[in-house]
Amino acid sequence: MAESLSLVAVPDFTAAMTSGKTFQLLGRPARAAVLFFYPKDNTPGCTTENIAFRDAYDKFTAAGVEIYGISRDSLRSHESFKAKLELPFELISDPEEAMCLLFNVMKMKQMYGKTVRGVERSTFVIDAEGRIVKEWRGVKVATHVEEVLEFVARLN
């Protein structure tokens, strides 16, 4: 897992998200944010990851951090997935892969013996000014949320 060595500014962007809201990187409340990219709603690893962020949500908000999940799924899929898992955070829909490309998370992967293009499970911590202060790529779900929480707890 690589981590950023310096603060990298992310260009401002907007994207559609659940609950009829629009995400804007620099238009959100002045606090840090965790953006986690995952491959697909309703798949085992992605479900486990979303549940882990859900279960730690109160700890993240206590640390002054908002959480946003991002995948290429439609808003309709996200709304259903969010309701099914009772997620307290919003999911951002990126069917055109604009955010995926901005954060360079599209990769060639092996799936069932075939090479496919897909989202590399990745997480970014963005500070209140819109700069990446930490990144994880090629995330393994098992202990990842605890690692992210430990990092954001040290931000304040």
The active-site residue, picked from 32, 33, 34, 46, is 46
> What single-letter amino acid sits at 122?
S
Which helix (H) or strand (E) element contains residue 149? helix 141-153
Give CA separation, 11 vs 1, 3, 146, in Å: 24, 19, 28
As a whole number of angstroms, the distance between CA 138 and CA 32 comes to 22
Q: Is 46 a catalytic residue?
A: yes
CA 112 to chain CA mean position, Å: 25
As a whole number of angstroms, the distance between CA 58 and CA 125 comes to 17
Neighbours of 31 (CB within 10 A): 14
Active-site amino acid positions: 46
